[in-house]
Structure 1
Amino acid sequence: MPKGVTRRRPRTRAALLRAALETFAEQGFRAASIEQICERAGFTRGAFYSNFSSKEELFLALFDEHSERIVRRITELVDSIATEDLTLQGLVEVLSDVEPAERDWYLVTTEFTLHAIRDPQAAWVLARHDARLRAEIARCLREHLDRAGRTLTVDADELARLLIAVREGGLAQSYVEPDELPPGQLERRFLAILLTAVSAERTDGRPGPG
């Protein structure tokens, strides 16, 4: 492959991903066409198929990109808090934060989830990507709680499932009734209680926050 094409490929892929997110959010996953995505991105179908084999693969690339960005953002925010200042409530504030752009992603991922429920093959593939995201969330939970002087007393993967369910269920209600329930409000009110119930103070003698 010529060097110029090699250098352009990441930019082409990134443009297609941006266009896909916008198109999926506006049109819906099932209604959106590859042609619409290509037109918005300014590329041909050939450029699309040199990067993705289908709309499903494109969505899963979006899923992984979004997951990595969210986990990275949470980690950076928690790491910016000095260990002696890190409390459960401080951790909750980070976990409860919802960016305005999250609405578009919520629309896209909710519709694809419904598609996967109807399609066993799509469900199997989505479950694999969900599992990788949960593993990262579980790892972050253990590490961040450890820094806050606590250790989990429940399975981290199951807790990650619960937190995702709370997040997604809360956002569904928030986007229907934004004035009644601003995004992140349920987590801010109840997540500290939950994390306290499913963790215990560390007893290994290592210093937690002062």
Structure 2
Amino acid sequence: MPKGTTKRRPVTRAALLEAALAVFAEHGFQAATIEQVCTRAGYTRGAFYSNFGSKEELFLALFDQHSQEILDRLSELADALPAGDFTLAEFAGRIARIDPAERDWYLVSTEFTLLAIRDPQAGWVLARHDARLRAELARGLTAQLERVGLRLTVDAEELARLLIAIREGGLAQSYVEPDVLPPGELERRFLGTILGAVTEAAGPAAS
């Protein structure tokens, strides 16, 4: 493969992902076409198929990209809170922040989730991407709590399931009634209490 093609590939892929999110949010995942994504990105179908095998594969790449962005942002927000100033309420407030651009992703991911519920094969694939996200979220949450001398009294990945359910359920209500329930409000109000109920002071390490 020519070196120029190799160097261009990440740029092409990023442009296709950006275009896909916009097109999927505007038209819906199932109604959107690969041609629309290519036109929005300014690339040919050949460029698309050199990066992705299908529209579903494109969505899953978006899923993984979005998951990593969320994990990185949560880590940065939590790390910026000095251990001496750490409280569960402050920690909850920081990780409850919702980027305004999240609405587009919510529309796209919700539609694909409905597809995955109807289609066992799509459900099987999505479940594995979900599992990787939960595992990373569980590890990050455990590390942040350990940093301030706390440990979980429940399974970290089960807690991650609950936190994702609260986030996604809260956003569904917020996007329907934004004036009544601003995005992230449920987490800000209740996440500190939930974390307080499932954590305890870490004892001294065994010698």
- TM more than 0.5: yes
Give 2:84's aligned residue.
84
| Offset, 1:195 | 0.4
Report SS of the residue matched to 1:154. coil
User: 2:140 aligned with 1:133, yes or no?
Assistant: no
Q: Which amino acid aligns with 1:99?
A: D
Give 2:194's aligned residue.
194
Give 2:115's aligned residue.
115
Give 1:208's aligned residue.
none
| Offset, 1:147 | 1.8
Give 2:47's aligned residue.
47
Which segments of structure 1 move beyond 2 Å, counting only runs of 4 or more? Answer: none
| CA offset digits 1:177-201 (Å, max 9, x no partner) | 0000000111111111100111112
| CA offset digits 1:60-118 (Å, max 9, x no partner) | 00000000011011111111222212221121012211000000000000000001111
Report SS of the residue matched to 2:32. coil
Counterparts of 1:203 and 1:87, CA distance in 2: 18
Counterparts of 1:162 and 1:129, CA distance in 2: 17
Give 2:169's aligned residue.
169
Unaligned runs of 5+ in 1: 206-210
Give 2:22's aligned residue.
22
Deviates more, 1:78-87 or 1:22-31: 78-87
Unaligned runs of 5+ in 2: none
Counterparts of 2:179 and 2:194, CA distance in 1: 25
Deviates more, 1:138-147 or 1:161-170: 138-147
Give 1:35's aligned residue.
35
Counterparts of 2:194 and 2:90, CA distance in 1: 14
- % identical aligned pairs: 68
Counterparts of 2:70 and 2:94, CA distance in 1: 11
Report SS of the residue matched to 1:151. strand
Q: Does the 8 Å contact 1:87/1:148 carry over to 2?
A: no
Counterparts of 1:166 and 1:81, CA distance in 2: 23
Q: Does the 8 Å contact 1:115/1:122 carry over to 2?
A: yes
Q: Which amino acid aligns with 2:167?
A: R
Counterparts of 1:39 and 1:156, CA distance in 2: 43
Counterparts of 1:173 and 1:128, CA distance in 2: 26
Counterparts of 1:148 and 1:118, CA distance in 2: 43
Counterparts of 1:67 and 1:108, CA distance in 2: 14
Give 2:147's aligned residue.
147
Alpha-carbon RMSD: 0.9
Q: Which amino acid aligns with 2:146?
A: D
Report SS of the residue matched to 2:151. strand
Deviates more, 1:73-82 or 1:38-47: 73-82
Q: Does the 8 Å contact 1:88/1:148 carry over to 2?
A: no
TM-score (norm 2): 0.97
Counterparts of 1:179 and 1:204, CA distance in 2: 47
Counterparts of 2:146 and 2:77, CA distance in 1: 16
